């Protein structure tokens, strides 16, 4: 899109006038700035002290501190100043920071295990969904499958179902199978949701690879599977990567299934973040710190995916 934009000066009639462009750019930049402010506020809140975070009026200028991040990763207990004075001198900068608030670090918080769960469930389900999706998409793209249109609709419709409604029977089934609150259970569930997107997206990508390449390979004595592995897959790498990122983002962000079907062992970040509690309610700097860490990979992926974003959100139907 960027390349097209810089080269499009050729059309004089369709090209907007400089004044119209300036007007458009002003409005769009204004909207972009307003849209990004909430995110910047959260990033800033992560660096506020507890009292700055709940100050009235809200503070725009404040003294940055890493307390929010320290609180996110630790569990602390409040102690009397006398008790703290008797302790040996603090070993680390974060010990020191916590003791300034009359607290002592009692141990690590649950954020790391939750983050690890998000990673394992995210990558596990993405890998499975892309693997299954590639096979199915190839078959739908290259072979005549009876009732192909109906099957494709069936596959997509499973993704459209309301998650809370799906969770009711899944909850009962997982109880029977001992899959409640397990990573395996969540991986299977997210794979099922993602595979529909993967099939639709990848079918679009594979449709674009000319058949002639494979036909030539088949003539050269390759089997179908060899042709798939050595000719089609290398051509589809970009599409597979884009699909994988979409699946990863879904699993990473998913909340409804996670909150209804996990409680501890397999809990991921989204249901965990809102319940980061400090003394007297939500610990906003710590919540903001968790949100920042959670959102940064998504921002990076969005930039990476920019070219394929449209395809991803329309199940491969709109390409440019």
Partner 1 sequence: MDTMTTILQPDHATIPGVSTPAKSRAARRVHGLSDRTIAWLFVAPTIALLLAINIFPLIWMIRLSFTNLNLSMSYLPLRFVGLDNFSDILNDEDVWFRLQTTAQFVISSVALQVVVGFGLALLINRQFRGHSFWTTIILLPMMLSPAVVGNFWTLLLQPQIGPFNYLISLFTGVPPSSFSMTGQVSLAPWTIVLVDTWMWAPYVMLICLAGLRSIPDYIYEAAEVDRASAWRQFWSITLPMTVPFLMLAVLFRAIENFKMFDMVNLLTSGGPGSTTELVSISLKRAAFEKWRTGYSSALAIILFVTVFGAANIYVKTLNKVKQR
For position 152 contacting partner 1 by CB under 8 A, the verdict is: yes
| Residues 81-120: x where in contact with partner 1 by CB under 8 A, - otherwise, as a string | ----------------------------------------
Q: Does 27 bind partner 1 (CB under 8 A)?
A: yes
Does residue 265 interact with partner 1 by CB under 8 A? no
**CB environment 145-157: b (16+ within 10 A), e (fewer):** eeeeeeebeebee
- Cα-to-chain-centroid distance, residue 194: 13
**Which of positions 160-179 make contact with partner 1 (CB under 8 A)?**
160-173
- For partner 1, give the closer residue by CB, 106 or 299: 299
Count of beta carbons in the 10 Å neighbourhood of residue 217: 18
The footprint of partner 1 on residues 53-72 (CB under 8 A) is 53-58
φ, ψ (nearest 5 deg) of residue 281: 95, -165
Rounded CA separation 94/100 (Å):
10
Asked whether position 277 contacts partner 1 by CB under 8 A, the answer is: no
Residue 184 is a binding residue for partner 1 (CB under 8 A): no
Shortest spacing between CB 266 and partner 1, in angstroms: 16
Q: Name which of 105 and 167 has its Cβ closer to partner 1.
A: 167
Residue among 233, 282, 309 at smallest CA distance from 54? 282
Q: Residue 80 has which token pair? A: 């009397």
Q: Can residue 51 be called a binding residue for partner 1 (CB under 8 A)?
A: no
Quote the strand ranges of 149-305, DSSP E.
277-278, 281-282
Minimum distance from CB of 105 to partner 1 (Å)? 25
Count Cβ atoms below 10 Å from residue 40 Cβ, excluding itself: 10
Specify the residue, 88 or 169, whose C-beta has the smaller distance to partner 1. 169
How many residues contact partner 1, by CB under 8 A?
122
Among 77, 178, 223, 238, interactor with partner 1 by CB under 8 A: 223
CB of 48 to partner 1, least distance (A): 11
Q: Does 225 bind partner 1 (CB under 8 A)?
A: yes
Least Cβ distance, residue 206 to partner 1 (angstroms): 10
Q: For residues 77 and 263, which CB has a smaller minimum distance to partner 1 in the complex?
A: 263
Taking the CA atoms of 312, 317, 319 and 320 in sequence, report the sign of the dihedral they define.
negative
Shortest spacing between CB 172 and partner 1, in angstroms: 7
Nearest by Cα to 183 from 270, 265, 271: 265
Q: Is 239 in the site for partner 1 (CB under 8 A)?
A: no
**315, 156 Cβ separation under 8 angstroms:** yes
Extract the tokens encoding 209. Answer: 């690879």
Cβ atoms within 10 Å of 121's Cβ, excluding its own: 26
Question: Which residue is associated with the tokens 């674009």?
Answer: 208
Q: Does 79 bind partner 1 (CB under 8 A)?
A: no
Q: Is 150 in the site for partner 1 (CB under 8 A)?
A: no
């Amino acid at each position: 899109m960027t390349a097209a934009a810089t080269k499009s000066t050729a059309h004089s009639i369709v090209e907007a006038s400089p004044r119209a462009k300036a007007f458009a750019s002003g409005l769009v930049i204004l909207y972009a700035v307003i849209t990004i402010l909430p995110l910047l506020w959260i990033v800033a809140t992560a660096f506020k002290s507890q009292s700055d975070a709940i100050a009235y009026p809200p503070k725009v200028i404040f003294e940055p501190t890493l307390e929010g991040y320290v609180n996110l990763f630790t569990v602390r207990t409040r102690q009397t100043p006398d008790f703290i004075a008797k302790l040996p001198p603090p070993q680390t900068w974060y010990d020191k920071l916590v003791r300034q608030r009359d607290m002592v670090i009692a141990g690590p918080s649950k954020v790391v295990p939750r983050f690890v769960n998000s990673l394992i469930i995210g990558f596990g389900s993405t890998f499975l969904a892309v693997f299954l999706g590639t096979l199915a998409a190839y078959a739908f793209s290259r072979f005549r499958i009876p009732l192909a249109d109906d099957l494709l609709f069936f596959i997509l419709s499973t993704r459209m179902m309301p998650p809370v409604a799906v969770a009711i029977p899944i909850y009962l089934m997982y109880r029977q199978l001992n899959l409640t609150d397990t990573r395996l259970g969540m991986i299977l569930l997210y794979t099922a949701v993602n595979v529909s997107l993967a099939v639709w997206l990848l079918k679009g990508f594979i449709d674009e690879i000319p058949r002639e390449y494979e036909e030539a390979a088949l003539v050269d004595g390759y089997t179908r599977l060899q042709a798939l592995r050595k000719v089609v897959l290398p051509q589809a790498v970009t599409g597979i990567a884009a699909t994988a990122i979409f699946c990863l983002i879904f699993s990473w962000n998913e909340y409804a299934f996670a909150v209804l079907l996990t409680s501890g062992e397999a809990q991921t970040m989204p249901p965990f973040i809102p319940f980061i509690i400090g003394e007297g309610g939500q610990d906003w700097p710590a919540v903001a710190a968790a949100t920042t860490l959670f959102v940064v990979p998504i921002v990076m992926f969005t930039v990476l995916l920019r070219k394929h974003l449209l395809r991803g959100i329309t199940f491969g139907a709109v390409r440019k």
